[in-house]
Structure 1
């Protein structure tokens, strides 16, 4: 059975007040969601410790990025080992904003995946095409290439730590979203790439991200290869995030 996961990426937003209010409300309303969904909150690194304490083991916590190194003279960076030591359970790797704004390459993503998995954290690997790539008919080729490069060094015993999040770049923070059918088609393609790689593809959770909201979550989550969501702006509202989590149906 694949894990059902809804992860909230706060990006560069948050405060101690938000941690107290939002995490407390999410814990209160989703203590027993009844649908077996794993809830993850991914705040800015400064607030990871606060979220871990407030979550009290009922909600998993992640980091938004890790370094390509374990330690050293890399001012401003945090390592996967540090993230694990802080109480994190997972790390985002290769988010489109890291790729676009900070020039992160596929090769760097692969190195970071290796560091995350070696530390014992789960890696939520982000992939997705731009609007230009989709309109040129290259969406599946671009995403498939990103997946292959990101998991190129994953060993047989590490696949249970791998989660793939498909986030079409043109749908992130724009209010636009892929149709449920478009999301399903790409998720099926990703699963086929993983299978060709020798991974246990039917056991790997695939998340959809890109303007997921309470009013479209159910249709997206109902698709057979969509196992959850990576939520951006809506994760900053306890009401909206809870509604999205509750939209997850039971999956076998």
Structure 2
């Protein structure tokens, strides 16, 4: 099963200069330590998600490496063009060099009030342009304390079933197409950037539930990679990487420094090789 380590840069860095420095550091470190060569194998694929304004320049710089680029979001309104001020379409981010897009991140759900209907449309738009989807799911602190994690995940994962229902009318191969273009990232909201980290046992059990749930939607989805995100760092990465249920990491703050990001990647490369 494919392992992924993805750096979500969020609204960072602030300037083109700082973006260039970060990319330079990544390229220098991977060339020196040969991490890129290892990550390009079936063991672990590395990917970064810069902000939309930096996507084209970062993609161009990484073109001759094995690191991939993802967009942090795409428009729900159109997969190509339209009168949607401020939006970037799936076609536009693909043209800028993205091969994947992050969707459903808790910050989008919280600050932009994204609901399931919006996410289904975004997923459909991504597939229309051949973009892979990193679908983020996870519960809040209150939901975790109330032992509602699994019911929250059921509701969030239902977008996959809804998308399949919509696309099955268009193509009988839609389940396999989605399976080839989908990663799930479990990010408990209470652990993102807080330093609070669930146990590996907890995460592994949750990942197993996610895998079983998604597999119940369609047989081709049985081998979906499920990543963990939420205060993953160079110190705890080895513990998460050791679990067979954890197929990689979606990394936030630790992805803004090449050494910490690549240390996390190296932990997964060693564990999954």
Unaligned runs of 5+ in 1: none
Q: Does 1:43 align with 2:50?
A: yes
**TM-superposition CA deviations, 1:12-56 (whole Å, max 9, x none):** 111222222222222232343235321111011000011011112
Unaligned runs of 5+ in 2: 165-173
Structure 1 residue 202: Cα displacement: 4.0
User: Using a 3 Å threshold, how does the CA distance of structure 1 residues 151 and 115 change in structure 2: closer, same or farther?
Assistant: farther
Partner of 2:10: 11
Partner of 2:28: 28
RMSD over aligned Cα atoms: 1.5
Q: Quick check: 1:25–1:238 contact (8 Å CA) kept in 2? A: yes
State how far apart, in whole Å, the 1-side matches of 2:44 and 2:18 are. Answer: 23
Q: Could you say which structure has the larger radius of gyration?
A: 2
User: Using a 3 Å threshold, how does the CA distance of structure 1 residues 94 and 214 change in structure 2: closer, same or farther?
Assistant: same
Partner of 2:167: none
Structure 1 residue 72: Cα displacement: 1.1
1:1-252 matches, cutoff 5 A: 2-14=1-13, 15-31=15-31, 32-33=34-35, 34=38, 36-58=43-65, 59-68=67-76, 69-70=78-79, 71-154=81-164, 155-158=174-177, 159-248=179-268, 249-251=270-272
Residue 153 of structure 1: SS of its match in structure 2? helix
Q: How many residues align?
A: 251
Structure 1 residue 199: Cα displacement: 3.8
Q: Quick check: 1:107–1:150 contact (8 Å CA) kept in 2? A: no
Q: Quick check: 1:113–1:151 contact (8 Å CA) kept in 2? A: no
What TM-score does the superposition give when structure 1 sets the normalisation length? 0.95
